[in-house]
Structure 1
Amino acid sequence: MTTKTIAGQEHRFRAFQISERDLALLAALAGFARERLPSLLPQLHEQFAPWPEIAKALSQPQVHERRLAHWIRLASGDFGEGFTESARSLATAFHEHGVPIYAVVICHGIVVNALIAELGLDQRRLTSLSGRWRRTRLDTGIATRAALSKAAQFDLELLLETYALVEQDRRDATRRQIEAFEGTVRDVVSAVGSGAVKVESLAATMEAVVGETSAQAFKAVRTADDASSNVSNVAAPRRCRRCRRRLARRSRRSNASSPSSARSAGSPRSSPPASTSSGLRRRRSPAARIRPRWARRRMPMRSAS
């Protein structure tokens, strides 16, 4: 709903000097308007050829129906209840179909001139009514033409004012839509910003978790290194003792195979004693090592020379 109030009919009647006689003269044209206008308005479409935007809009059924109903009321002087709504309906149809506001003036001029010509109220015909015996008819024709012109001006002003109100309503509706869209965009941006903050916080938390996990892994690696070092330290003495035992055995074997030990052992054919006071095991010759067990049992081993 618009906040601007359209001036009342009585103020317009005074502004355009529309009298009761004018309304009566227009009411006498009601039959003519209902019968002739439905065919007259389509015939006038070719006169709008220089203005394609007007001709295109007037050819639309929705626009034509509202325009015809409004012009019937206008030519009949039916300015009572519902006339303002009819003007608003026609102005809305013009605005919705892209008819510019100057088209309203052009449309009124063409239709009014056509009505005057159809009613025989043009200047040429009125001049032909001169004469004393045609004075009454001439006066009626002049008054009817004046009443029709006043009604057209009255309706033109109403349509222009209504057209401006329709445009204002459309601008207000567009502004509300834009404001609603901006509010939606702000909400979306706010939600995205909040989501970004949450993501940033989550990323920081994940970074802290990763850092803590890395620290724990580093500690675990150090603990494993320390445990490995301890195992190595414990196993080192055992390896050292084994090494010393091996060296001692090698030393004893080398001493047993030396020439001095062979001379002290007697002749080569004599059998070595079964055991010695030192408790050393008898060293076998390399040949005895590769002999099979049955040969070792039958043949006595020779001492190393």
Structure 2
Amino acid sequence: MAIQLDLTNCKDETTFKQLTGHDFKAVIALTGVYAVYTYDELAEGEGVLISTPNPFEAHILIMHEGLELTRIIDYNAQTIMNISFKLKKQRAGTGTLVLIEQILAAEKENFGQLTCNAIGGEYEPLFNGYSTWGKLGFSIVNNKLSKAIGIPSLDRYNKLLEQHGIPSMPIHELLAAKNIICTNGNIIKSGEDFWNAPGNGFPWSGAFDTGKGSVNRAILCAYINRKIEQLETELAKHQTEANLLSTLHNKNRLEQKIREIKQQINILSEKRCLLA
């Protein structure tokens, strides 16, 4: 029987280590949640549930202040499967920071690969993982899961591009591409709009090599660079507006926004250095 552990009951930490040989806090670090909450904050919150079906695997569910994520840690394969990630209240860049924290924790603990189920499109219009995971560096792959539920993910993706005359390119390039010249003579103005259009984008299986210098980390770093550039443009705009405002209330509101953007830029810049 799986042992259910609850972080709000700290005596279970010893039980977990006896069973698996692994440190409780280090296992939670592999989820990436420490990017937004400390261990102590989680311990005082709604809870962290860990199921250990065997000594080599941990299933983790974290629910805290509107954040919910599920991970499967496989110690034998040294992989982490990202099952789900939800935020009831969207906070700018939270998902990116959680992923970066997870990659760094995985590297530290010698976990070579993250996997994901990129949900969205088709019958899952409320989810955007099928687009977001690609932007953040995950590669579409064929695996047992994608084969079991139908056409393997990478095969299906390549077939989609071929059907529309789109030159072969990985998902992150498609999502960033503009004015794609197709072999059938058509021009697709936005790769992201094409992917998000009904009937095109679909749920897929993804993988991320956590090793230093990997292609996936390079894609993520490039994404961070673009986000920093966007934030710097937004910052300059708000600073100009603040200088022109005479109403104290509106000026204070803008200055608060400026501080928040500066903080985001500083955090992303710091994380980018760690990833590179």
Does the pair score TM above 0.5?
no
By relative contact order (CA 8 Å, sep 6+), the higher-ranking structure is 1
The structure that is strand-richer by fraction is 2
Shorter-chain TM range is: under 0.3
The structure that is helix-richer by fraction is 1
Give the TM-score normalised by structure 1: 0.22
